[in-house]
A = this chain, B = another copy of it.
């Protein structure tokens, strides 16, 4: 392993600093990876284009990360970043613009420098497609949610609207129905594209559906109070009272670097990983939302840790250390 100081990798900001592992993204996956990598003796650094935390930062309240029965997303990520910083340096505002493999090294170009590593962990996350309607951004986290597994429970027994027609939308609707919500699915087309069994379950439970309908506006002052709906075939408009709007119209992985490295991805662009969080390319790992699976903090911290331990295993193999 590259010799480093105790505080998380060598601290110079010079060009071409070389690390065993470079972690891209400081959400829960990247932060967990930093902890496990350094504890295994790998030199590493976390490059984060913004500030640490990833998508969790936008959650006003997290109740499902075991050990924290209720905490603001921003606060949880502060605590986690502080924990990770005792092991690994996090370079904020450092966006990776390009990564190429040259021989057995990865060469990174960032917005402010160059780095070299022997292994790379993609923890770049994903983002939710938005409706792009008035009220959506203003009320995000105040009745507007993009994740029923994360936030559904806050709306127990309330009236909620789910927007979308795919597997995620219908699963969200069933989840919300299961905790006693009065659910209406709003879908812009006349048929769902979700799996048949989900459609049957929705129908069997008598969950209300508005087909051919779009949301024109999300209404509310402090929190969501209603949605303005419009039937795209008849033009009929309606203002429907609701306590929450779950938007499930697509999730897009931030997989540009994965593409550059040529790793295998699924049809949606999420990086394929095995149970050890290795990708199809040697010394390239992926964890967190960019690697698909359940989009939860618990999954991200596991993926990051497992990927770091896999990197340790791979970097410790003799054929590699001989070339180092």
Interface residues of A (CB under 8 A from B): 1, 28, 31-32, 35-36, 39-42, 63-69, 76, 79-80, 82-84, 86, 149, 152-153, 171, 174-175, 177-180, 197, 200-201, 204, 275, 293-294, 296, 298-299, 301-306, 309, 312-313, 316-319, 321-322
Contacts and interface: CB of A to CB of B under 8 A. Distances in A.
Contacts of A64: 35-36, 39, 305
19 contacts: A35-B64, A35-B66, A36-B149, A39-B152, A39-B179, A40-B175, A40-B179, A41-B177, A64-B305, A67-B83, A69-B86, A178-B316, A293-B306, A298-B298, A298-B302, A298-B304, A298-B305, A299-B302, A299-B305
Contact of A305 (B296, B303, B312): B296
Given A65-B301, A201-B316, A301-B302, 5 more contacts: A40-B149, A65-B67, A67-B68, A69-B82, A301-B301
A40 B178 contact: yes
Contacts of A76: 67
Contacts of A305: 64, 294, 296, 298-299
Nearest to A179: B41
Given A31-B66, A67-B83, A309-B149, A318 B204 contact: yes
Nearest to A148: B40
A312 B67 contact: no
Contact of A67 (B80, B149, B275): B80
B318 A201 contact: yes
Nearest to A273: B275
A224 to B, nearest CB: 20
A30 to B, nearest CB: 10
A294 B306 contact: yes
A204 B303 CA distance: 30
Contact of A28 (B31, B66, B175, B312): B66
A197 B322 CA distance: 12
A313 B201 CA distance: 10
Contact of A174 (B152, B298, B316): B316
Contacts of A79: 67
A283 to B, nearest CB: 15
A151 to B, nearest CB: 10
Top 3 A-B residue pairs of the complex, sorted by shortest distance between their CB atoms: A41-B178, A302-B302, A41-B179
Contacts of A309: 149, 294
B67 A197 contact: no
Given A32-B66, A312-B175, A306 B299 contact: yes
B298 A32 contact: yes
B321 A201 contact: yes
Contact of A197 (B66, B84, B318): B318
A322 B318 CA distance: 57
Given A64-B305, A302-B301, A41 B84 contact: no
A296 B83 CA distance: 17
Contacts of A174: 316
Nearest to A196: B318
